[in-house]
Structure 1
Amino acid sequence: MSVAIITGASRGLGLALAAGLSAAGWRLVLDARGASALADAARSLAGEVIAVPGDITDPEHRAELHAAAASLGGADLLVNNAGALGPSPLPRVADHPLDALRDVFEVNVVGLLGLTQLVLPDLRERAGVLLNISSDAAVEGYPGWGGYGASKAAVEQLSRVLAAEEPGVRVWWADPGDLRTQMHQDAYPGEDITDRPLPETVVPAVLKLLANRPESGRVRLPELV
Structure 2
Amino acid sequence: MQTNIDLQGLRVAVTGGTSGLGLALVRQLAEQGASVAFVARTTANVERIADETGAHGIVGDIGNKEDIYPIALQVTASLGGLDVLINNASSLGPVPLALLADTECEELEKALAVNLVGAFRLTKALFGALAASARGSRGALVINISSDAAVNAYPGWGAYGASKAALAHLTAIWDEEAKADGIRLLALDPGDMNTPLHALALPDADPSTLKRPEVAAAEIIEKTLDALPVRSTLLAGAHT
TM-score normalised by length of structure 1:
0.89
Q: Tell which has more relative contact order, 1 or 2 (C-alpha 8 A, sep 6+).
A: 2
Deviation (angstroms), 1:42: 1.6
For residue 67 of structure 1, the aligned residue among 64, 69, 73 is 73
* Structure 2 counterpart SS, 1:129: strand
For residue 50 of structure 1, the aligned residue among 34, 48, 56 is 56
Distance in 2, Cα, partners of 1:179 & 1:203: 11
On the 8 A contact 2:76/2:82 being kept in 1, the answer is: yes
The alignment's C-alpha RMSD in Å is 1.6
On the 8 A contact 1:5/1:65 being kept in 2, the answer is: no
Structure of higher CA gyration radius: 2
Counterpart check, 1:39 vs 2:53: no
On the 8 A contact 2:115/2:167 being kept in 1, the answer is: yes
Counterpart check, 1:187 vs 2:201: yes
Count of aligned residue pairs for this structure pair: 213
Give the aligned partner of residue 103 of structure 2. Answer: 96
TM-score normalised by length of structure 2:
0.84
On the 8 A contact 2:60/2:71 being kept in 1, the answer is: no
Structure 2: which 5+ runs fail to align? 1-8, 135-139, 230-240
Give the aligned partner of residue 149 of structure 2. Answer: 137
Could you tell me which amino acid in structure 2 is paired with residue 38 of structure 1? V
Counterpart check, 1:111 vs 2:118: yes
Deviation (angstroms), 1:214: 7.4
On the 8 A contact 2:91/2:111 being kept in 1, the answer is: yes
On the 8 A contact 2:21/2:195 being kept in 1, the answer is: yes
Counterpart check, 1:146 vs 2:195: no
Question: What are the Cα deviations for residues 149-196 of structure 1, in whole angstroms up to 9, with x where unaligned?
Answer: 000001001101101100111111000000000110011134443421
For residue 20 of structure 2, the aligned residue among 4, 12, 21 is 12
Could you tell me which amino acid in structure 2 is paired with residue 55 of structure 1? D
Counterpart check, 1:213 vs 2:227: yes
Distance in 1, Cα, partners of 2:45 & 2:165: 29
Could you tell me which amino acid in structure 2 is paired with residue 19 of structure 1? R
On the 8 A contact 1:181/1:199 being kept in 2, the answer is: yes
Distance in 2, Cα, partners of 1:120 & 1:172: 15
Deviation (angstroms), 1:44: 1.7
Could you tell me which amino acid in structure 2 is paired with residue 161 of structure 1? I
Identical counterparts, % of pairs: 36
Structure 1: which 5+ runs fail to align? 216-225
Cα distance change of structure 1 residues 59 and 146 upon mapping to structure 2, 3 Å threshold: closer
Give the aligned partner of residue 123 of structure 1. Answer: 130
